Amino acid sequence: MTTRMDVLRHQRGVAVITALLLTTLAITIVASLFWQQQVQVRSIENQRMQLQKKWILRGAIDWARLILREDGRQSANVDHLGEPWAVTLADTRLDQYVENARTDGDDSDATLSGQVVDAQAMYNLNNLATDGYVDQREVDAFARLLVNLRFDGQLAQSVADMVAKTQVKAAVPSSSAAETGPVKSPVDGAGTAVQFLRFTQVDDLLAVNGFTPEMMERIKAFVTVLPRKTAINVNTTFPEVLAARIEGLSVSDAAMIIASRDRAYFRTLDEFKSRFEERVKAVTVKDVAVSTNFFIVNGKVKMNRSALDVSALIERADNATTSNASTTVLWVKEN
């Protein structure tokens, strides 16, 4: 028979268990709130650091633009690897900048590194076609470059065809328009014009059958995509590219020319041709140059636990010697 004392003991036991459960629940809720708060704090810190890194890189790009403008004013007719813009910026600590954002117990460590690269030292894929028509001479040059890099030269035609498809076709010259009629862009089954996306970066080559990510790692140092057709800058280019650009020039002869250039850069195209007349006699102003209009700025900021790596394409105007000298950022992308 249950006594009153047993009932009281049972009720006290239930009360203790209930109290323990409520305490556990409260602790769990408080711990969860603290954890959520910590996540939010970390998220805010990461956003703050990301914004700081973007502003640092924006300042670095502006600084590179200033250097390129001044270089254009002083030596607009020639660009070579001995100029200030070509000096690589090694990891540079930004202690003074980070000091204002440092929190208690936070071991801040911010560094900036970067480099300005002559984009016209590389082969421009947009040379392969003009106004939607393939340039066979450029196809042959790109094929030679692929062979120099130990790739299949036949891929050049496929790339040229793809580049041509991304361009709007120009009208046929008047001399032949009467015979052939106006040229129309490719159309789909509904009769509407098909416009492919333009090549904007080297990775777009992956859309062409035969190219692999492994090939991209090798080819990126020698190929680029610029808004218009460009010549190769002989003062900054590589033996593989120079040999591809000049028909009949071997890679070994191109390496010899590069070695000579590193001792004394070329001031004019005539000087380049006179120093290597027999090897480069077929070269034209459309093929090579001694100056540059396009540069790629690579920058990397490391801050505490994260890093931001970006590249920017800068165009320097041809009128860089005038008071209206200008540089334009064409695109900025994260790597």
In one letter, which amino acid is 295?
F
Q: What is the model's pLDDT at position 123?
A: 97
- Kind of pairing, strands 306-316 and 327-334? antiparallel
Helix 136-148 to helix 155-165 angle, to the nearest 10 degrees?
A: 130
Residue by residue, what is the 3-state secondary structure of 252-302?
Answer: HHHHHHHHHHHHCCCCCHHHHHHHCCCCCCCCCCCCEECCCCEEEEEEEEE
Mean pLDDT (the chain, rounded): 83
What is the per-residue pLDDT for 96? 56
Residue-wise pLDDT for 233-287, tens only, equals 999 999 999 999 999 899 999 999 999 999 999 999 999 988 888 777 778 888 9
Residue 241, pLDDT score: 97
Residue 102 domain flag = yes
Query: How much is the pLDDT for 160?
Result: 96
In a domain, 306, yes or no: yes
* Predicted confidence (pLDDT) per residue in 184-195, tens digit: 444 444 444 555
261 is a domain residue: no
Q: What is the pTM of this model?
A: 0.79
pLDDT in tens, 85-108: 999 998 888 765 554 445 554 555
Tens-place pLDDT, residues 114-127: 999 999 999 999 99
How many separate domains does the chain show? Answer: 1
Residue 217 lies in a domain: no
CATH number at residue 25: 3.30.1300.30
Q: Which domain holds residue 64?
A: 8-121+294-334
Asked if the structure places residue 24 within a domain, the reply is yes
CA–chain centroid gap for 4, Å, is 84
2 located within any domain: no
Render pLDDT for 205-224 as a digit per residue (tens, 0 to 9). Answer: 999 999 999 999 999 999 99
Question: What does the pLDDT read at residue 1?
Answer: 55
pLDDT tens readout for residues 45-87:
777 777 888 888 898 999 999 999 999 888 878 999 999 999 9
Phi, psi of 166 (to 5 degrees): -85, -5
19 part of a folded domain: yes
* Helix, strand or coil, per DSSP, at residue 250: coil
Band of the pLDDT at 33, cuts 50, 70, 90? Answer: confident
